[in-house]
Amino acid sequence: MSDLDALLDVQAIDTRLDVLRHQRAHHPIQAEIDGIAAERRIAADAAATIDAERTEMVRAQKRIDDEVVSVRAKKDGAEAKLYDGSVQAHKELMAVQAEIASFGDRQTELEDAELEVMEQVEEIDGRLADARSAVTVYDDRIAVLEAELAVALERVDVELATVEAERLGAAAAIPAALLTRYDGIREALGGVGVARLSGGTCLGCGMTLSAVTVDQIKKLPPDAEPTCEECGRLLVR
Q: Which residues here bind Zn ion, judged by CB under 5 A?
A: 202, 204-205, 228, 230-231
CB-nearer residue toward Zn ion: 18 or 230: 230
Residue 192 CB, nearest distance to Zn ion (Å)? Answer: 9
Contacts by 179-182 with C-beta closer than 8 Å and gap 24+?
A: 179/7, 179/10, 181/225, 181/234, 182/7, 182/10, 182/11, 182/234
Residues 223, 231: contact at Cβ < 8 Å? Answer: no
CB-nearer residue toward Zn ion: 117 or 202: 202
Round to whole Å and give the CA distance between 207 and 225.
19
What values do phi and psi take at 135, rounded to 5? -60, -40
Residue 139 CB, nearest distance to Zn ion (Å)? Answer: 51
Residue 230 CB, nearest distance to Zn ion (Å)? Answer: 4
Detail the DSSP E strand segments found in 135-177: none
CB-nearer residue toward Zn ion: 15 or 108: 15
CB-nearer residue toward Zn ion: 39 or 183: 183
CB-nearer residue toward Zn ion: 17 or 231: 231
Residue 235 CB, nearest distance to Zn ion (Å)? Answer: 7
SS3 labels along 114-136: HHHHHHHHHHHHHHHHHHHHHHH
Residue 194 DSSP label: E
Residue 181 CB, nearest distance to Zn ion (Å)? Answer: 15
